[in-house]
């Protein structure tokens, strides 16, 4: 019985690490998709309704909420414009108001 336990312990440990790793990848994907969607919707709202429209304000808020959620839960957020993860809470809630974005 002792031999079985010494074999099962590493197997269970590796299995649990795979499960945790999969959950982290899923959280990354969910955060990234949520931010990409809000970013895209904000660009569309600005293009179709103007930067100060209620639609743009709504999606600006959703983008900030998505970034904040990811940062609070994963200590990083997806920067869609730079196509990379960022680890500082350095986003500008009005960054899409500038013409170069």
Cα 100 from Cα 95, distance rounded (Å): 10
Averaged confidence pLDDT in the chain: 83
Beta strand extents in 1-101 (DSSP E only): 77-79, 84-86
**pLDDT band, very low/low/confident/very high, at 62 (cuts 50, 70, 90):** very high
Can you give the pLDDT at residue 93? 84
Q: Give the pLDDT of residue 28.
A: 75
Neighbours of 75 (CB within 10 A): 10
What pTM, to 2 d.p., does this model score?
A: 0.70
Q: Cβ distance 58 to 72 under 8 Å?
A: no
3-class secondary structure, 55 = helix
């Amino acid at each position: 019985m002792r031999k079985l336990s010494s074999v099962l312990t590493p197997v269970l440990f590796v299995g649990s690490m795979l499960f945790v790793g999969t959950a982290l990848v899923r959280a990354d994907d969910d955060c990234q998709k949520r931010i990409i969607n809000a970013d895209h919707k904000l660009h569309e709202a600005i293009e179709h309704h103007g930067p100060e429209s209620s639609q743009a304000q709504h999606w600006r808020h959703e983008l900030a909420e998505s970034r904040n959620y990811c940062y609070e839960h994963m200590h990083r957020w997806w920067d869609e414009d730079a196509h990379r993860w960022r680890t500082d809470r350095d986003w500008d809630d009005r960054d899409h108001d500038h013409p170069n974005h």
